[in-house]
C-alpha cells in the first residue's frame, strides 16, 4: 500500500522529476512548503487564461471568478470538515489571518482577562495573541514543554487554565519536531472554563485528516502551500463568531459572510489552485477504493497517508540514529509513532545545523536549518541562535530518498 501511494503521488508532481547535477533532487523541505501537482498549476493558469476578473461583477469573467472561489470554499469546507462553506475565509497566509483575527477577538477582552499560548508553537500562533494581549492589559500564560520528548506538559496546561481564560491558542502538530498535540482533550478542558480555542492546523493539514465539526474549537487556520497547493491562507471560524466579531475592514466591503473577513482583493488564481490541491488529495482516496463524497474520499486519502508516513517516520528516525553522533529532538520510540509526523529535527556534536544543510544541499537534498519560526521551542530547548536541522517527509517521499539522505548524513558526520 505504501509504495503504491508514493508512486501514485510522484507521477503527478513535475518538480519531483527535477535533476540536480544529474541526480533527482530530494525534497525534505515539505514543512516549509510542499511541491504542487500538475493540476494545481493547470488550475492557476486556467484562471488567468479564461476567468481573470475582480469580485462581484455582473459580467461573465467576474461571475466565473466568483464561482471558482465558491468552489474552492466548498472544497476547503470538505477538507476541514465544516458543513458551512461560508465559514471558510481566504487570506494571504496563516500569519496574516491570525493577526487580523487576533485584533478582532481582542476587542472582546478586558484588563485582567487571560489567554494561553504554548512553547511548542510556531510564533504565528503566539505573537499575534501576545501583542493583542499587551494592548488590552490581558495576562498571557505559556504552556511549558517536556524537553525530553518535546511534548506539551499537560500539567502546565492545566495550571494555566483558570476561570479568567478567554482563549487557548495551540497548534495541532509541531512544525519543528513533529509532535502531535492532544488538542481534542485540551479543547474539552478549555471549554469547561468557557474559553475560546484557536487551533493552528498548518502542520496538521498535509499529514492528517481534519474535522472541525467534531473537534469543538472556535477557529482553525491552515495554509494551502503546505498541503500541495499555492500560497493561500485558510481560516475556518464558527459562524456565530464570524458574524458577531467586528473585523478590521473597509466600509464598502460587505458585512455578510464570508466577505466581511476578506477585505481587499484576494489572490483568486491561487484560490482556484487550492480547490485543485484538495481534489488531488480526494483522488488519492478514490484510488484507494473510496467511491463516496469528497469528504469520504479525503478521509480515505489521509488514512493511507498516515499509515505510510508512520513508516517514513520510523525509517527516518532509524537512519538518523545510525548515521552518526546526532541528537534527535522529539519522540523517537517506535511504539509512539502515532504521536508524531515525519518532521524530524536534530543537531550534530561536530557540525552546526547550517553546515549540515549546506552539505545536504551540495548532495541534492533540500532541508532547512534554524528555528523555523518555532522560536518559543528553540528558546526553550536552548538551541538558539543556531537552531536545529529539520528533515520533513511527505507522502511523496520514498524509502530510497531516505537511504540517500542517510548516506549523505554519514559522509557529513
Ligand X SMILES: Cc1ncc(COP(=O)(O)O)c(C=O)c1O
Q: How far is 89 from 106, CA to CA, in rounded Å?
A: 19
**Residue 392 touching ligand X (CB under 6 A):** no
Q: Quick one: which of 78, 114, 200, 401 contacts ligand X (CB under 6 A)?
A: 200
Instruction: Rank residues 202 and 312 by Cβ distance to ligand X and give the closer one.
Output: 202
Query: How is residue 110 written as a grid cell?
Result: 478586558
**Residue 124 touching ligand X (CB under 6 A):** yes
**Residue 202 touching ligand X (CB under 6 A):** yes
Binding mask 211-250 for ligand X (x = CB under 6 A): ------------x---------x-----------------
Q: How far is 402 from 398, CA to CA, in rounded Å?
A: 7
**Residue 340 touching ligand X (CB under 6 A):** no
**Residue 390 touching ligand X (CB under 6 A):** no
Instruction: Rank residues 69 and 98 by Cβ distance to ligand X and give the closer one.
Output: 98
Q: Quick one: which of 43, 94, 104, 199 contacts ligand X (CB under 6 A)?
A: 94
Query: How is residue 283 written as a grid cell?
Result: 483522488
Rg (CA), the chain: 21
CB atoms within 10 A of CB 11: 13
Size of the site for ligand X (CB under 6 A): 14
**Residue 105 touching ligand X (CB under 6 A):** no
Span of 44-52, 119-127, 269-277, 298-306 interacting with ligand X by CB under 6 A: 119-127
DSSP lists the bridge partners of residue 145 as 152
Q: Tell me the closest approach of the beta carbon of residue 126 to ligand X, in angstroms.
A: 10
Q: How far is 382 from 152, CA to CA, in rounded Å?
A: 16
**Residue 29 touching ligand X (CB under 6 A):** no
Instruction: Rank residues 95 and 266 by Cβ distance to ligand X and give the closer one.
Output: 95
Residue with cell 500560497: 231
Element (H, E) at 141: strand 139-143
**Residue 375 touching ligand X (CB under 6 A):** no
Q: Quick one: which of 119, 203, 390, 395 contacts ligand X (CB under 6 A)?
A: 203
Q: How far is 27 from 343, CA to CA, in rounded Å?
A: 12
Span of 56-64, 75-83, 90-98, 155-163 interacting with ligand X by CB under 6 A: 90-98
CB atoms within 10 A of CB 274: 32
Q: Tell me the closest approach of the beta carbon of residue 152 to ligand X, in angstroms.
A: 14
Q: Quick one: which of 2, 62, 93, 296 contacts ligand X (CB under 6 A)?
A: 93
| CA 178 vs CA 120, 270, 370, 373, 375: distances in Å | 10, 27, 15, 14, 15
Q: How far is 305 from 109, CA to CA, in rounded Å?
A: 40
3-state SS, residue 91:
strand
The contact set with ligand X (CB under 6 A) reads: 93-95, 122, 124-125, 171, 175, 200, 202-203, 223, 233, 373
Amino acid at each position: 500500500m505504501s509504495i503504491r501511494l508514493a508512486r501514485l503521488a510522484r507521477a503527478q508532481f513535475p518538480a519531483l522529476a527535477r535533476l540536480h547535477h544529474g541526480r533527482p533532487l530530494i525534497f525534505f523541505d515539505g514543512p516549509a512548503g510542499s511541491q504542487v501537482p500538475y493540476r494545481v498549476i493547470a488550475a492557476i493558469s486556467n484562471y488567468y487564461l479564461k476567468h481573470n476578473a475582480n469580485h462581484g461583477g455582473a459580467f461573465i469573467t467576474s461571475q466565473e471568478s466568483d464561482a471558482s472561489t465558491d468552489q474552492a470554499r466548498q472544497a476547503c469546507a470538505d477538507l476541514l470538515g465544516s458543513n458551512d462553506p461560508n465559514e471558510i475565509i481566504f487570506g494571504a497566509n496563516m500569519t496574516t489571518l491570525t493577526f487580523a483575527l487576533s485584533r478582532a477577538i481582542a476587542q472582546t477582552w478586558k484588563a485582567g482577562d487571560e489567554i494561553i499560548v504554548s512553547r511548542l508553537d510556531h510564533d504565528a500562533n503566539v505573537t499575534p495573541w501576545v501583542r493583542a494581549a499587551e494592548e488590552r492589559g490581558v495576562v498571557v500564560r505559556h504552556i511549558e514543554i517536556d524537553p525530553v520528548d518535546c511534548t506539551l506538559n499537560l500539567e502546565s496546561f492545566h495550571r494555566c487554565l483558570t476561570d479568567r481564560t478567554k482563549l487557548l491558542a495551540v497548534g495541532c502538530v509541531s512544525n519543528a519536531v513533529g509532535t502531535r498535540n492532544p488538542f481534542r482533550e485540551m479543547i474539552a478542558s478549555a471549554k469547561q472554563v468557557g474559553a475560546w480555542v484557536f487551533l493552528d492546523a498548518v502542520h496538521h493539514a498535509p499529514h492528517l485528516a481534519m474535522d472541525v465539526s467534531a473537534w469543538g474549537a472556535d477557529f482553525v487556520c491552515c495554509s494551502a502551500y503546505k498541503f500541495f497547493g499555492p500560497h493561500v491562507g485558510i481560516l475556518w471560524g464558527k459562524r456565530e463568531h464570524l458574524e458577531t466579531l467586528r473585523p478590521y475592514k473597509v466600509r464598502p466591503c460587505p458585512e455578510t459572510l464570508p466577505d466581511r473577513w476578506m477585505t481587499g482583493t484576494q489572490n483568486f488564481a491561487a484560490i482556484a489552485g487550492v480547490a485543485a490541491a484538495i481534489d488531488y488529495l480526494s483522488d488519492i482516496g478514490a484510488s484507494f477504493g473510496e467511491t463516496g463524497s469528497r469528504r469520504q474520499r479525503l478521509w480515505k486519502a489521509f488514512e493511507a497517508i498516515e499509515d505510510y508516513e508512520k513508516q517514513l517516520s520510523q525509517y527516518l528516525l532509524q537512519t538518523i540514529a545510525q548515521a552518526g553522533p546526532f541528537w534527535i529532538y522529539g519522540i523517537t520510540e517506535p511504539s509512539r509513532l502515532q504521536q508524531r509526523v515525519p518532521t524530524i529535527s536534530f543537531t550534530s556534536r561536530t557540525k552546526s545545523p547550517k553546515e549540515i544543510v549546506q552539505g545536504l544541499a551540495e548532495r541534492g537534498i533540500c532541508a532547512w536549518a534554524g528555528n523555523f519560526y518555532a522560536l518559543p521551542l528553540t528558546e526553550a530547548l536552548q538551541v538558539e541562535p543556531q537552531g536545529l536541522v529539520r528533515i520533513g517527509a511527505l507522502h511523496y517521499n520514498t524509502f530510497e530518498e531516505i537511504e540517500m539522505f542517510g548516506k549523505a548524513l554519514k559522509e557529513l558526520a
